[in-house]
Amino acid sequence: MLLLCVSSIDEKFQKFNIMKNTRIVSSEISPSTIKASSRIECSRVCTSDESCGSCSYDTKLKVCTLYLTCHQKTEYAEGYEIMIKTPEPVTFPADCSEFPDGTNDGVYAISVNNDCIHVYCDMVDKWTVIQRRQDGSTDFYRDWLDYKNGFGDPSGEYWLGNDNISNILNGKSYSLRFDLEDWSGVRRYAQYEMFSIADESADYQLTLAGYSGDAGDAMLDSFPPLNLTGQRFSTRDRDNDDNTGGQCALTQKGGWWYKWCTYANPNGLYFLGTEPGHSGDTMLYSNQPLYLSGQRFSTKDRENDGDSNGQCALTQTDGW
């Protein structure tokens, strides 16, 4: 896909657009490669070379690669950053709702808190996908820092990151939607018309209201210990649940707004439908008597402004 960028830095009067977790897929025969201690140093080298149109930086190997052109194809690659010379700053959508009608489903770059991140966009109703599971290829039993920053690959399985989710929702009215498919091919959904989370200082406290759908209301269960609105986020290394007899993130093997603990555990273990010996620790969404242990799961959000703009969703399917 073509490079999209949002944040910028000024280096010796040269402005760059920056894209994180992305690398250039170049057709150049022999791009110039040097060692550099930081992204800033890499951009300085590109600035001093008039033939350099763009550069990429490997944060792990500390390697800077210079390219002749600004117009490069790119791909998702964790730990890489791209800097591209530009005379003017580039503006990018704040969420998937701002892409034009007719845009295909897929991975796109959006602007979040003056930074550029990749998300999967479900463009039928312009949902921004914040969680996606479809084959068990990504481990979701992770610590606080991973859930804070996000992990995985938006083209497959991923969690967008609590900081990113909080920044997208900040100051706006959003809906939340769960899309689920079980091992029999049954598809269901649950949607909430009010969705927000606080920032990290309040442990990403959840606000949720207004259920509709056919999957059952597993997030706002009428049994108070399982009603998750007002709950803070928990991971295996940070316990914010209300369960005095244990730690839900440990027993349910995920990160979530656990209380006592929850019928909704979309970040739990992924296992094949034929595997025995699992119950509450699996990836599930249930509201008795309906109980769905998922094969595919996605979570999405969307802004409420009267014309289906700006939504968030948890999604667990390929192209679904």
User: Can you give the CATH number for the domain in which 59 is found?
Assistant: 3.50.4.10
Predicted TM-score of the model (pTM): 0.71
In a domain, 7, yes or no: no
In a domain, 213, yes or no: yes
Whether 58 and 100 map to the same domain: the answer is no
The answer, yes or no, to whether residue 314 has pLDDT greater than 60, is no
Whether 134 and 21 map to the same domain: the answer is no
- The residue from 39, 65, 85 where one domain ends is 85
Q: How many CB atoms lie within 10 A of CB 5?
A: 23
In a domain, 60, yes or no: yes
Distance (Å, rounded) from C-alpha 277 to C-alpha 292?
A: 16
Pairing relationship of beta strands 174-182 and 311-315 according to DSSP bridges:
parallel
pLDDT of residue 90: 57
The answer, yes or no, to whether residue 318 has pLDDT greater than 60, is no
Greater model confidence, 277 or 28: 28
Whether 133 and 177 map to the same domain: the answer is yes
For 57-76, what is the mean pLDDT?
A: 84
Whether 154 and 179 map to the same domain: the answer is yes
Whether 76 and 100 map to the same domain: the answer is no
Greater model confidence, 201 or 301: 201
CATH number at residue 158: 3.90.215.10
- The residue from 28, 62, 85 where one domain ends is 85
In a domain, 55, yes or no: yes
Distance (Å, rounded) from C-alpha 319 to C-alpha 290?
A: 25
Whether 81 and 103 map to the same domain: the answer is no
Contact of 133 with 118, CB cutoff 8 Å: no
pLDDT of residue 292: 44
Distance (Å, rounded) from C-alpha 228 to C-alpha 169?
A: 18
Distance (Å, rounded) from C-alpha 2 to C-alpha 260?
A: 46
Q: Domain total for the chain?
A: 2
Q: How many CB atoms lie within 10 A of CB 193?
A: 14
Token duo for residue 125? 């109703």
pLDDT confidence of 17, banded at 50, 70, 90?
confident
For residue range 81-139, list pLDDT tens digits in order.
Answer: 888 887 655 567 899 999 999 999 999 888 888 777 889 999 999 999 999 998 899 99
Amino acid at site 216: G
Distance (Å, rounded) from C-alpha 238 to C-alpha 255?
A: 9
- The residue from 61, 85, 109 where one domain ends is 85
pLDDT of residue 305: 65
For residue range 211-254, list pLDDT tens digits in order.
Answer: 999 988 999 987 887 899 999 999 999 999 999 989 999 999 99
In a domain, 192, yes or no: yes
Whether 220 and 198 map to the same domain: the answer is yes
In a domain, 300, yes or no: no
Pairing relationship of beta strands 63-67 and 73-85 according to DSSP bridges:
unpaired
Whether 30 and 148 map to the same domain: the answer is no
Ordered alpha helix ranges (H), the chain: 39-48, 144-149, 162-169, 248-251
Whether 155 and 229 map to the same domain: the answer is yes
For residue range 249-294, list pLDDT tens digits in order.
Answer: 999 999 999 999 888 899 998 876 544 444 455 666 665 433 444 4
Q: How many CB atoms lie within 10 A of CB 223?
A: 9
pLDDT of residue 109: 83
In a domain, 314, yes or no: no
Token duo for residue 69? 């052109």
pLDDT of residue 1: 26
Whether 160 and 249 map to the same domain: the answer is yes
Whether 105 and 204 map to the same domain: the answer is yes
pLDDT of residue 119: 92
Q: Which of 95, 62, 265, 90 is closest to 167 using CA atoms?
A: 95
Greater model confidence, 173 or 29: 173
Greater model confidence, 273 or 150: 150
In a domain, 145, yes or no: yes
Whether 74 and 156 map to the same domain: the answer is no
Greater model confidence, 70 or 22: 22
Structural domain harbouring 197: 96-272+284-295
pLDDT confidence of 10, banded at 50, 70, 90?
very low
Greater model confidence, 78 or 257: 257
The answer, yes or no, to whether residue 4 has pLDDT greater than 50, is no
